[in-house]
Amino acid sequence: MPTDVSTWLREQREARGWTRSEMARQLIAAGRARGDRQLPGLDGMCHNIYRWERGGPMSERYKLHYCRAFGIQPAQFAPGPIPEPAARPAVLAIPAVADRPGIPMAYQGQPVSAAVPVRPVPALPVSGFAVYREAEGPGLGEFSVKREVLMAAHEGSEHAERAERRDVGPATMEQLRADVVRLSAEFMTGEPLASFLEMRRVRARIFRVLDQQLWPRDQADLYFLLGCLADLMAAAASDLGYPQAAEELIRSGWAYATAIDHRPLMAHLRLQLADNSYWHNQPQQARDLAEDGLRYLDDGPNAAHLHLRYAMAAAQLGDADRAYRAISQGRDSREHEYTDDVLEIGGEFAISRASHLRDVGAALTGIEGADQEAIDELERAVAAFEAGPGPGEQHGFAGKPLATIDLATLHLRSGALDAAVTTLAPVLALPSAQRITALTSRLRLVRAELHRSLYARSVPAQELDERIEEFGRDTVPAGIRSLPGGPG
């Protein structure tokens, strides 16, 4: 039965953003630093931590190891306020989350440690971050973005496998599914951090439902929804400037998808991971992930999206032949009638025709000698975005700006500086809360063109370059970077 000490142990661990595995590593390191060579391995220490946090007895030996790991004096090993460590910076306390046993990851990687030093929290910028104050409530004075994103990733990793049985009421299941559908749609047009926090709230509710005993059919449905939420949260984390947290969220989603053998969801998770790699300048990894995703899905809009992400990465790597072939395969996949559970969620999970055209244009932009083909596709994409989404489609706020950035790049290649300036004007006027990583990543192509000798003495070119640099100073990740624990 939990005691005051067991609760204190758990809260101290969670305040530092440590999973049980990370706590075990810290205790082993602390013990070895004290000369203790008779410690159990990682699995054995994790079991001990699980037992201690539920009221099991602990020897004085391990209390000393805990004190060293926490950076406190032995006299401070007791329930009460989180003390000021003697040898480490203080850490930010957050509300404790429900204890859940950890599970092995479905594939590569380990959770990221998330200890965050306390610093005075500056006022949030007036721009899009004002909405986050409303979303988070009066406790936002101690809000740490890194804490929120990484702890959410850790919670998903630790909860990615349960196996108990009981019925879930149909009203509850319908509401949870409706929440995921709503969040997928809202993410397309909303601000990333506000969306992320709402996704986390819904995920916590599904966790609570999974804590009951469930029949296998209900568990499978909930695993599917958790996999979709992990996918969405990964997209938001990437937009916020946390690619590693995005990868961890995708790993937890992969655990759910493989547990129920949901191949369309597995394909979309691969697509999300490929996107994360592509927008963070890892084209080879993006290409390989997109190719792997096609093992799970070979038809429909999401298969087409995988082909196009492969094409964009291949073009960036200078492989024009494979890029053209992937573009052709993407067009074929999109033309076929196809539906599945993932597509039915809609929003982020269903690429629109306009987005398809934009990605074709983006791939062609990277192929030498394909400028006119790229312009034609991108102009069709912009027209499709301006015409509005078709039946069952939705356009995200970044869709048209991404297309116009590539158009501006092509204008600059042809020497049409004035056209590039005009084309980019709406993009550079976007509110800071919508200036996501994908946009700043793509604007590098524009700046590369502006730095060519053709524009070396052009004042308008220099002014445009300065405006792009200013745009990059007031993005979502840049705004968050000014907060304690923001991305480095």
Per-run averaged pLDDT (10 residues), the chain, 488 residues: 76 87 89 81 82 83 90 79 41 34 33 34 34 36 53 56 49 89 91 89 90 77 95 92 91 94 96 93 94 94 96 95 96 89 92 94 94 95 93 89 95 94 94 86 92 91 93 68 44
Final residue of a domain: which of 38, 57, 76?
A: 76
Say if residue 133 is in the same domain as residue 71: no
First to last CA, the chain: 41
Looking at the DSSP bridge assignments, the partners of residue 117 are 91
Q: How far apart are CA 443 and CA 399, in angstroms?
A: 14
Q: How far apart are CA 187 and CA 345, in angstroms?
A: 12
Closest CA to 116 of 154, 79, 78: 154
Say if residue 142 is in the same domain as residue 69: no
Tokens representing 447 are: 């700046």
What is the CA 95 to chain-centroid distance, rounded? 22
Domain-located, residue 101: no
Domain-located, residue 24: yes
Q: How far apart are CA 363 and CA 370, in angstroms?
A: 10
Domain-located, residue 421: no
Domain-located, residue 210: yes
Say if residue 62 is in the same domain as residue 137: no
Q: Residue 22: what pLDDT?
A: 86
By CB atoms closer than 10 A (0-12, 13-18, 19+), residue 428 is: middle
Q: Residue 145: what pLDDT?
A: 63
Domain-located, residue 304: no
Q: How far apart are CA 358 and CA 346, in angstroms?
A: 19
Q: How far apart are CA 416 and CA 246, in angstroms?
A: 38
Question: In Å, how far are 14, 95, 144, 198, 387 from 139, measured between CA atoms?
Answer: 17, 10, 11, 16, 42
User: How many independent structural domains does the chain possess?
Assistant: 2
Torsion on CA atoms 317, 245, 213, 259, rounded to nearest 10: 20
Domain-located, residue 487: no
Q: How far apart are CA 160 and CA 424, in angstroms?
A: 43
Specify the DSSP class assigned to residue 183. H
Torsion on CA atoms 241, 244, 249, 253, rounded to nearest 10: 120
Q: Residue 92: what pLDDT?
A: 31
Domain-located, residue 108: no
Final residue of a domain: which of 219, 234, 261?
A: 261
Q: How far apart are CA 42 and CA 59, in angstroms?
A: 18
Question: In Å, how far are 271, 335, 398, 441 from 324, measured between CA atoms?
Answer: 19, 17, 25, 23
Residue tagged 């966790």 (tokens): 207
Contact partners, residue 131, CB within 8 Å, separation at least 6: 191, 194, 433
pTM above the 0.95 mark? Answer: no
Say if residue 253 is in the same domain as residue 157: yes
Say if residue 153 is in the same domain as residue 243: yes
Query: Do residues 365 and 379 touch, judged by C-beta distance below 8 A?
Result: no
Q: How far apart are CA 158 and CA 53, in angstroms?
A: 15
Query: What is the domain range of residue 179?
Result: 129-261
Q: Which ranges of 16-54 would DSSP assign to H, the alpha helix? A: 20-33, 42-52
Tokens representing 430 are: 């976007």
Domain-located, residue 241: yes
Instruction: Give helix then strand counts, H and E, for the chain.
Output: 22, 0
Specify the DSSP class assigned to residue 13. H
Residue tagged 């879930």 (tokens): 168
Q: Residue 7: what pLDDT?
A: 87
Residue tagged 């092995």 (tokens): 104
Q: Residue 74: what pLDDT?
A: 84
